[in-house]
Structure 1
Amino acid sequence: MKVVFMGTPDFSVSTLEEIMKAGHEVIAVVTQPDKPKGRGKSVAYPPVKEKALEYNIPVYQPVKAREESFIEILKELEPDVIVVVAFGQILPKAILDLPKYGCINVHASLLPKYRGAAPIQWSIIGGEKVTGITTMYMDVGIDTGDMLLQEEVSIDNDETGGSLHDKLSQIGGKLLVETLKRLEDGTVDRIKQDDSKSNYVKMLDKALGQIDFNKSAGEIERLIRGLNPWPSAYTSLEDKTLKVWRARVVEGNFNGRPGEIIDLTKEEIIVLTGKDALSILELQLEGKKRMKTDEFLRGYKIDIGTILG
């Protein structure tokens, strides 16, 4: 197939690689414009652009994909299919209707649940035991098109947003290649989504990571894992931001107020929550490196009864 690939972040890269390995002709890559990065504000390429340049694939970076001039470029390319993986822009009907086999999206959840942004992280935060990849036809809605193939993935008890991202990225590429094969063969079924089972999740931002100790320890522990590595879960200790990277639930009834440190061991800081308690195992105080709690406690004096947040 002649493929136009549209994607931007790291998650998209493995799908582009799998398409190339499968022998398809990627005639163009479309990605978001370059952005300044870091303190020096040097221009950084999106990960997909970097990979496309390795393969010597022409790269297009429209500010808005709906611009008529860009749509004309796509028409001239005459792709058989457009593959979209975390591109970052909503495509107009003029693009969706352009290729022979349509626009196919790789979505990082088992649709129809967890439509929208950040489904990987929200599946962990939401306490799901299973997630997966869905390939689907794109339509004018957000993640509302007919489904094609799905593959399930178990969410481990210690799964983080980062580890699940990497798993799903690899699976997504392989499932997309199988989807393209079955589209060509005419052996794939279109499955309509049940809108009544859908759940739109919002984009991640730093404010989401602020820990509310009135919530249960289980909810907080899932938030910590889901937001690891970005944007991370955090609280405050003596007016300094304290990021929490790893924790476990301590079941039981305890006296005190939510956010209060109720016990200290050589390796743990145990904090009361709305239900049960939370043992902090790995953290990072503002201005310091990330470290295990035992290392932190060797160099920082903290008392039982201290309130976090």
Structure 2
Amino acid sequence: MKIIFMGTPDFAETSLAALISSEHEVLAVVTQPDKPKGRKGELTPSPVKVLAMKHNLTVHQPVKVREPEFVEMLKEYNPDVIVVVAFGQIIPESILKIPKYGCVNIHGSLLPKYRGAAPIQWAVLDGEKETGITSMLMDKGLDTGDILLKKVIPIAEDETSGSLFEKMMCLGADTLLETLNGIEKGEIKPEKQGESPTEYAKMLTKSMGLIDFTKSAFELDCFVRGMNPWPSAYTIFEGKTLKIWKAKVVEEKGKAGSIARVNKDSFMVYCGRDALEVFEVQLEGKKRMSAGDFLKGTHLEVGQEFGGEFGGK
């Protein structure tokens, strides 16, 4: 099929790479404008643009895809399908109507669960046992289009958003190719979505990473993993930010936010229910390190409390 690809981050890059290696023809690539990055604010292309340029594909970077001039330009390509993967702009009806087979979106959840911008992270944060990829025909709603294919993947007990993201990128690319082949052969029948059983999967922000130790250790274990690698889960220790990168649930009972036990290679913090045993941390201004290395240069005492908005002063 003749395809227009719309995507921006590395999650989309994997799908574009799969298309380039397939029998399908990528007519052009649409991605977000280059953005300033780093201290110098140098304009940096998206991962999708970098890959597209490497393969000498035509790249378009509209500030707003709904502009009439851009829509008319897309029509001239006369694509069979437009593939949208983590593009970053709402696709207007004027574009949805262009391709013969419609606009196909690859979404990182088992729709109708976790509609929204951060479905992978929220599946981990909510303690889900499984998630997956859904391919759908886009409509004017937000992730409400007819479902084409679903592919399920289990969420491991130690899964982080980062590790799950890597798995989902590959699954997304495979699902995309299977979906396009199924559409072309007329073997896929679109199915309507029901109501979403979960809240909208909104983007994470840095402020959301502050740990509330009054929550259960199970919730906070999911929180630590869901916030990894960004924005990370953190508390306040002696006036500095202390990020917690790795922990597990243990059965302990005590005052939420206070130190339950200090071991050679870990330390435990009481939560609203049970406790977290912490194995990997990062103190403000320092590198990420094991809890054992952290304890070699830091004195923790049983009963000592972490500060900040939650967990004691």
Query: Is 1:231 equivalent to 2:231 in the alignment?
Result: yes
- When residues 219 and 57 of structure 1 are mapped into structure 2, their CA distance, relative to the original with a 3 A threshold, is same
What residue in structure 2 maps to residue 14 of structure 1? 14
Query: Is 1:285 equivalent to 2:280 in the alignment?
Result: no
CA displacement at 1:197 relative to structure 2: 3.2
CA displacement at 1:196 relative to structure 2: 5.1
Structure 1 residue ranges, 4+ long, deviating more than 4 angstroms after superposition:
none
Would the aligned equivalents of 2:146 and 2:193 in 1 still touch at CA under 8 Å? Answer: yes
Q: TM-score under structure 1 normalisation? A: 0.97
Would the aligned equivalents of 1:245 and 1:283 in 2 still touch at CA under 8 Å? Answer: yes
- When residues 11 and 263 of structure 1 are mapped into structure 2, their CA distance, relative to the original with a 3 A threshold, is same
What residue in structure 1 maps to residue 148 of structure 2? 148
CA displacement at 1:41 relative to structure 2: 1.2
For 1:299, which of 293, 297, 300 is the aligned residue?
297
Moved more, 196-205 or 20-29: 196-205
Q: Partners of 1:26 and 1:302 in 2: how far apart?
A: 58
Residue 182 of structure 2 aligns to a residue whose secondary structure is: helix
Amino acid in the other structure paired with 1:308: F
CA displacement at 1:306 relative to structure 2: 1.7
Residue 220 of structure 1 aligns to a residue whose secondary structure is: helix
Q: After the TM superposition, which residues 131-170 of structure 1 pair with which residues of structure 2 at under 5 Å, given as runs?
A: 131-170=131-170
What residue in structure 2 maps to residue 267 of structure 1? 265
CA displacement at 1:302 relative to structure 2: 2.1
CA displacement at 1:137 relative to structure 2: 0.3
1:82-103 deviation digits (Å, cap 9, x = unpaired): 0000001001100001100100
Would the aligned equivalents of 1:111 and 1:198 in 2 still touch at CA under 8 Å? Answer: no
Q: TM-score under structure 2 normalisation? A: 0.96
Q: Partners of 2:224 and 2:39 in 1: how far apart?
A: 27
What residue in structure 2 maps to residue 95 of structure 1? 95
Would the aligned equivalents of 2:256 and 2:269 in 1 still touch at CA under 8 Å? Answer: yes
Query: How many residue pairs are counted as aligned between the two chains?
Result: 307
Q: Partners of 1:306 and 1:73 in 2: how far apart?
A: 64
Residue 98 of structure 2 aligns to a residue whose secondary structure is: coil
Amino acid in the other structure paired with 1:304: V
Q: Partners of 1:27 and 1:4 in 2: how far apart?
A: 6
Query: Is 1:308 equivalent to 2:306 in the alignment?
Result: yes
What residue in structure 1 maps to residue 39 of structure 2? 39
- When residues 285 and 198 of structure 1 are mapped into structure 2, their CA distance, relative to the original with a 3 A threshold, is closer
CA RMSD of aligned residues (A): 0.9
Q: Please list every run of 5 or more consecutive structure 2 residues that lacks an aligned counterpart in the other structure.
A: 308-313
Q: Please list every run of 5 or more consecutive structure 1 residues that lacks an aligned counterpart in the other structure.
A: none
Q: Partners of 2:238 and 2:199 in 1: how far apart?
A: 38
Q: Partners of 2:197 and 2:148 in 1: how far apart?
A: 17
Q: After the TM superposition, which residues 170-185 of structure 1 pair with which residues of structure 2 at under 5 Å, given as runs?
A: 170-185=170-185
